[in-house]
Each structure stands twice: as C-alpha cells, then as structure tokens.
Structure 1
Amino acid sequence: MRMLLIGPPGAGKGTQAERVAKAYQIQTISTGDIFRANVAQETPLGLQVKEYLDRGAYVPDELTNAMVLDRLAQDDVSSGFLLDGFPRTLPQVHTLDACLAELGNELDVVVQMVIEPDEVVRRLLKRAADQGRSDDTEDVIRRRLGIYQEQTHPLVAVYAERGILVSVDAAGPMEDVTQRIFDALDGAVIGADGSEPAA
C-alpha cells in the first residue's frame, strides 16, 4: 500500500496519517516530522527550515526532495508507506514519480482532505493558543492557505486524471474523519488489490 494524504494546513493530515498508517501497518513519511526533528536539533538545515516556517512560507523543494527520496529508499518502506506533506508542487510530483519508478513502485491511492478555509483558521488559532506556536497567527495561516491553493491544490487534478484520487470531508470529530477515510479506501484500495486495514 503506497498512499498520499493531501489537503491544506490544518486539515488534520498528521493525525489521520498516524491512524491510517497504523491500520494498514505501513510507515508514515511526514515532511513536517523531518523538518521538526531538524529544527529541534538545530541542524544547519533545521535553521533554514525554521526561517521559512516562521514566515508562514513553504520550505523550498531543494531542501525537501533529497530528504524524502532518501527515506523512500529505506528498507522499512519497501512494502508500503503513507506520504504526508510531499509532494506539494507539480515538479515534486514528477520527482516522486521518477523515484518510485526507479524503485519499481507507484502510488496506489491519493486521499484529498477537504475543509473550508475559515474552519482551518479556527483550528489553527486554537492550536496556537494551546501550544504557543510562533508560526500560527491568522495572517500567517491565511498566507499559507493561499500558497497551498496556488502550489498544491493543482495536484488534485493530476491525481484525479490518473484515477487514484478519493476525496474526504475533513470537518468534524477526528474519529468521524478517520472512518470516512477508511470508507473511501475500502472502495479504492480493495478494488485494486484486495488489501484491508488491520484490526
């Protein structure tokens, strides 16, 4: 099982990625986790990443591609993975395609998490209050949403054209969203290879 979760900041991708990866017994590959680890360790890359995150900007492709592609080549993802946060631009789609082709793989399914911008702002402002996140002011959140719409949303059409896109309503309680994802994957994935999530 090789899948991608796509959706705007605040859609709940990280939470759902953990749940789905556990159910399907596959590894999560999250650019956010990779970035945060480098920021916490204050590596040279982490310091660069922090500058972009604090401005509400996306990290440039060249800082992201090598880390993710190296991760995809590791043994523990040979039987499957869930990508969260990559690809986020059309050039990264082509980079991912080439990497997976070299490994003899391709994506099985792409789950689009759909949510209204105002709900994203509400969620992320609450998270900012709870966690004291320096990158979550309303202006920064709306700027990130604009960047998502411009750079990442076009990927939806690419994967829809390939016939591997399913869309899920990301509003409401986490448990409800998780169930919607499983329901969507049942049709998309079982139809493709007969696999089912683990109990």
Structure 2
Amino acid sequence: MGKKKGKPEWIKETLEIDDNHGWQSKPGYKIFVAGRGAVRFDVPQDWHFEPNEKSFSFHDATPPNDDCRLEVSYNHLPKQDWSLFPLEHTVKKVATADRRDVIEVGEVVKVKRQTARIAWIQIKFIDSNENREAYSRICVGLGSSIQCLITFDYWADQAEKLTPVWDEVINSLVLGLYIRDPRTGFAIPD
C-alpha cells in the first residue's frame, strides 16, 4: 500500500473548556498550541489557519486575498545540552542565504527565557511577483528539547500594523510545556 502524498488529513475537534481553565491570551488574540504544547504562541483571533504537510500557517485573510503569512514548524531534539548551539549565527546565516531579492538584513535580536533561547532577524526584500517591498522575519527557538522555526512575511507598507503581531508571537512563545488536558490548559508536571 503506497503512502498518500499531499496535505495530511487533519481532524478538527472542538472541546468545551472548563470554567477554571488556565488558558490566557491578550484580548483580540487566540492561543495556538501544536504537539500538545511542544510550541505555543498567540495569534490574532480572526486570522485564517492552514495546516500544511510539515508546518502550520496563519494569514490575515483567506489566501489569495491575504497580505501576510505567519508560518511555524517544529522538531523534537535529542535530550542533550543545546546551550552552546550557535543560535544567533544560525539565524544570521539563514537570513543571508535567503534567495529572494534581499535589499537589507537587520541585526539578530536575542530573547532569553527561563527554559528557551530565541533569536530572530528581519530582512527586507523586493517581492518578484508584485515588484513590491516586503519584510520577512525569521525566528529560531530552542528549549525543552524542541526547536521551532517561525517566519513572518508581510508588505513593508503594512509594517506599522503588523509589527505588533510579531511582537505578541515572540512575547507569548513557549516551547515544551506539555498540556495533559486541553480543556483545562494546565501543564503536565515534570
């Protein structure tokens, strides 16, 4: 029996959450959780969600009418000390290797959390399809034996409106905090 190609089959399930649930997000945002808590962050409440074969993406409108795309993928890593992994260098290398018509590469921004290291960078490029300036933000996070890659592409003339979305994604990003029961939102104790 051959393996099916294309988009994976996803099962959407809606659960009633307990009155005393532990889920909290900023007003106007919703919580995204992948892998029972391998990756968690907040996204605007009205954004369109699309599961892909190896990633998940969010758009400000249903494609092709969207103006931006936020995409995340993650991997489980072997349990070992990742504190010496050159995260900042890796993010810079990914940005400089970008094949789009890059006209500007920003500085690496580092974020240290109790259980994670996060680094991201911004590039500015000319979109070849629309001959229009755009930004791409590229983030790599390492923590609790999880590595995530988050990218955010948007038009340069919409930066004022969309930069706060990125800020909320980064501020709310949690790696490897597993949830026993999604109806309660409480983490599994170590």
Q: TM-score, normalised by structure 1?
A: 0.26
Structure with higher strand content: 2
TM-score, length-normalised on structure 2? 0.27
Over alpha carbons, which structure has the higher Rg?
2
Between Structure 1 and Structure 2, the one with more helix by share is 1
RCO greater where, 1 or 2, for CA within 8 Å and sep 6 or more?
1
